[in-house]
Structure 1
């Protein structure tokens, strides 16, 4: 039996009644969907792989994306928030205590038990496999979540269960592919891609935001989530060695506290900025950085921002993340220590080999796009279903 249910749900069956036809958040009735996506990341958080892919897939399918529960208030009668992104893409934020309890509220939002595709970003949703009768189960493994800080112990077993029930496994990088192909016979590697026209706006005459426009050059910038994957000590030591360089960190904090951040006069934390604003900030960067720590959480990552920085034509400095070294060492400056970081900044600010860098970027970018990735994934799913 399911546990941690809302009081009014205590006497309901584990398997929901999908014959119900309720109004939700003013939306007329429970809807019929072609695909249900289960995602650990908030749609309105940092815009990354799930948003890029699912928004494109929704052009040809009606999709309900279910986020992790946001909790509930006993005095709140609503069972969740339904965000209507467009006619074909809806986001459900369940107001229940745990993922298993989502099954109880599903009849209010979805009218069919048998969508064509169940698409998982996190194995924590695997208990919901028992509720649906998907024609095809897809696991788009974008990160090795079991190695992240605070990962629940049961996630390892949940991933084994999901892998055993998945028909298709996609991975977000080559290292992940090599890991997952040992446990499944239908794995495809789709490294993070890029919306090149969006970030190439930084090459044009767009405005640099006021909060970095007047910073002392060179401006060395990062955007993305700031969490245990960032080498804060490396950032701190480099900033101390180069007091005349401005270091800009854009993005929300996750699983670390404000007190964990290094403080120097030349380190600027700007908080989260919207996806639409990022090209403007990139235009204000002289150099883009990826100061990732080398730890369990970064063992399998393939940073999306690598290609986004390239599309903006920015020199890039990165620590030696396996997939970055493997795929981009020809044009990304790789460092391990603060001294090497300083040397790379000094060298790149002179803009030597700029033409060579741009040609290498062009060769990489012409072979990838989120549109192409989504189309290939869609083709694989259709072929499997035949």
Structure 2
């Protein structure tokens, strides 16, 4: 095992009321802050109103001879800490280095400390920390994803035993996990409706890389990985050459060469969250061609309400958290095969929009990321009792 020196980590604290010390929320994440805007970004930018948020990511691997750390502030008051490790670093050394970084960070926390886990894989370097509250936000069934680490299930069970409160990212996941913790709450994907409503308000210029694409346009945005049904896209695009399929998002964990290529399929790459409304404004249908496999069994796609807020008709494969409630309420068309998909496209393209949009807006008005964060914070306050409780030692197993 290689011994690494741990660099000093400076702490940046946001100012609060005179004499008051803001609590620190230390987030341990498998997702990168700067990758795709998802649940963590929505929640933590709201958490930063009341907490000093430190977003601790999985290591970045590089060719440097020695380890390091990238520690920067992002918009919204989020501090993102990225361990930098040389290629070839063994597991034990990587764990020790990350443990050392966390120890330096926590040593500079004067107020209360809350640990917020997105991944159980952080436990080997974080289980020893003393915390006033431990939250597990189980947004995905990570064990079902491609290349999931063999230890993940055992570590998740340990995290469930340590956590004071568990949040789940969808109804189907909550149903499957409800018996595993006595204080578990369902918080499905929510919506920043005002952001996506820009797509239906008019006045947005068609982006340059989309402006030359003919209509009608069928669009998808999001991560393109093993959850994306490449075969269904190929079949549908082949059967409907008059339709244009606009695919936005980074390609990860699958070979880009496996993506279907055709004159009516347009791979535009990743776009920022701020850019999305302009693209969606030029689409006629939002499509979610998710594969039906272990990796999608418990997903609750954030893009479902985002498409709807943009005023787009939506067609999806039979993802359980899309069928309930969106499909059952008539807000989303569910289609599994090529023929069913083409029939669904024809239906929504010819459908009167007024009554459908009224139903969409009535549904979306029930939730928002602000409401979701407020409800999560309320559950945390129930445990804390409205006061700062002494930190407790977590077993160093």
| Fold shared per TM-score above 0.5 | yes
What whole-Å deviation, never above 9, does each CA across 1:195-240 have from its counterpart, x for those lacking one?
0000000012111212222312110000000000011100000000
> 2:100 aligned to 97, 101, 104, which one?
104
What whole-Å deviation, never above 9, does each CA across 1:96-150 have from its counterpart, x for those lacking one?
3434530122354443478421000011111233331011100001100000000
Determine the C-alpha separation between the residues in 1 that align with 2:255 and 2:76.
Answer: 38
> 2:35 aligned to 45, 48, 51, which one?
45
> 2:171 aligned to 170, 174, 185, which one?
174
Q: Report the aligned-residue RMSD.
A: 2.1
> Which residue in 1 is equivalent to 2:338?
338
> Which residue in 2 is equivalent to 1:214?
212
Instruction: Give the SS at the match of 2:341.
Output: helix
Q: Is structure 2 residue 63 aligned with structure 1 residue 69?
A: no
**Are the aligned partners of 1:32 and 1:112 in contact in 2 as well (CA < 8 Å)?**
no
Q: Is structure 2 residue 187 aligned with structure 1 residue 198?
A: no
How many residue pairs get aligned? The number is 367
Determine the C-alpha separation between the residues in 1 that align with 2:141 and 2:252.
Answer: 16
| Structure 2 unmatched runs, 5+ | 14-20, 386-397
Determine the C-alpha separation between the residues in 2 that align with 1:99 and 1:248.
Answer: 41
**Are the aligned partners of 2:219 and 2:287 in contact in 1 as well (CA < 8 Å)?**
yes
> 1:57 aligned to 47, 62, 74, which one?
47
Determine the C-alpha separation between the residues in 1 that align with 2:364 and 2:75.
Answer: 29
| 1:87, distance to aligned residue in structure 2 (A) | 7.9
| 1:379, distance to aligned residue in structure 2 (A) | 1.2
Q: Is structure 2 residue 370 aligned with structure 1 residue 371?
A: yes
Instruction: Give the SS at the match of 2:81.
Output: strand
Instruction: Give the SS at the match of 1:176.
Output: helix
Determine the C-alpha separation between the residues in 2 that align with 1:134 and 1:142.
Answer: 22
Q: Which segment is superposed worse, 123-132 or 277-286?
A: 123-132
> Which residue in 1 is equivalent to 2:71?
82
Determine the C-alpha separation between the residues in 2 that align with 1:349 and 1:86.
Answer: 39
Instruction: Give the SS at the match of 2:102.
Output: helix
Change (3 A) 1:163 1:357: same
What whole-Å deviation, never above 9, does each CA across 1:276-296 have from its counterpart, x for those lacking one?
000000001111000000000
Determine the C-alpha separation between the residues in 1 that align with 2:154 and 2:238.
Answer: 44
| Structure 1 unmatched runs, 5+ | 10-19
| 1:86, distance to aligned residue in structure 2 (A) | 5.1
Determine the C-alpha separation between the residues in 2 that align with 1:99 and 1:291.
Answer: 38
> Which residue in 2 is equivalent to 1:15?
none
Determine the C-alpha separation between the residues in 2 that align with 1:268 and 1:87.
Answer: 33
> Which residue in 2 is equivalent to 1:310?
308
Compute the TM-score of the two structures, normalised by the length of structure 2: 0.88
> Which residue in 1 is equivalent to 2:247?
249
**Are the aligned partners of 2:22 and 2:50 in contact in 1 as well (CA < 8 Å)?**
no
**Are the aligned partners of 2:9 and 2:101 in contact in 1 as well (CA < 8 Å)?**
no
Change (3 A) 1:268 1:251: same
Q: Which segment is superposed worse, 175-184 or 288-297?
A: 175-184
**Are the aligned partners of 1:61 and 1:88 in contact in 2 as well (CA < 8 Å)?**
no
Change (3 A) 1:310 1:209: same
Compute the TM-score of the two structures, normalised by the length of structure 1: 0.90
| 1:353, distance to aligned residue in structure 2 (A) | 3.0
Q: Is structure 2 residue 140 aligned with structure 1 residue 143?
A: yes
